[in-house]
Amino acid sequence: MAAPPARQPLDLVQQLTRAERLLARRVTAILTAAGHSLDAWHVITLLADGAGHHMTEIAEHAFLPPATLTKLVDHLVDVNLVYRRVDDLDRRRIRVFLTRRGREVHQRLSSQIAASVAELPAARADQELLVELLGRLVEALDATPARDRYALSAGEPT
């Protein structure tokens, strides 16, 4: 009887995708119970720094197309989690900020999410290392212009 084939380790993309989806499922359960979406959470977490951000920056952070983001921000305004203000430096642009209620929601949900993640069997040091390593990966990927990334993947000279 032949031995079963050795299980192939998942590649980086598969591992990251699986980890993201499993973690998103966990976080989504918390957010849904509070009446919020994962997309809204991405916006809220960016705005939690208090600096206010332009719609373009929010769209990039949340990986949302502009029209979808506009609808989402409209909803967040309607439920008093964010507000818009004309940019003091460029009056043609709008900045979005968390309201006091938005900050309270962020703090409450952040605590719940942190507690949920803390329940995972991975040691805190492992999680900190993972965040550090993923941060370095993101920086490296961001540092490579998209045109160069696609040309490299297609085997074309840059």
38 and 106 belong to one structural domain: yes
Q: Are residues 41 and 104 in the same domain?
A: yes
How many domains are contained in the chain? 2
Asked whether residue 134 falls in the same domain as residue 115, the answer is: no
Q: Domain check: are 137 and 93 in the same one?
A: no
Residue 133 in domain: yes
133 and 114 together in one domain: no
Please indicate, yes or no, whether residues 45 and 92 belong to a single structural domain of this protein: yes
- Can you give the CATH number for the domain in which 100 is found? 1.10.10.10
Would residue 1 count as lying in a domain? no
| pLDDT in 10s for each residue of the chain, 158 residues | 666 555 555 688 898 999 999 999 999 999 999 999 999 999 999 999 999 999 999 999 999 999 999 999 999 999 999 999 999 888 899 999 999 999 999 999 999 999 998 888 876 778 888 889 999 999 998 898 765 555 555 555 54
Cβ atoms within 10 Å, residue 129? 12
Do 61 and 110 share a structural domain? Answer: yes
114 and 130 part of one domain: no
Q: What pLDDT sits at residue 146?
A: 65
Assess whether 36 and 84 both reside in one domain.
Answer: yes
**20 in any annotated domain:** no
Which of 84-117 are b and which e, b meaning 16 or more Cβ less than 10 Å from the residue's Cβ? Answer: eeeeeeeeeeebbebbeebbebbeebeeebeeee
Distance CA 27, CA 134 (A): 18
Task: Find the domain containing 73 and state its range.
Answer: 30-119
Whether 90 and 39 share a structural domain = yes
Same domain, 135 and 155: yes
pLDDT for 158: 44
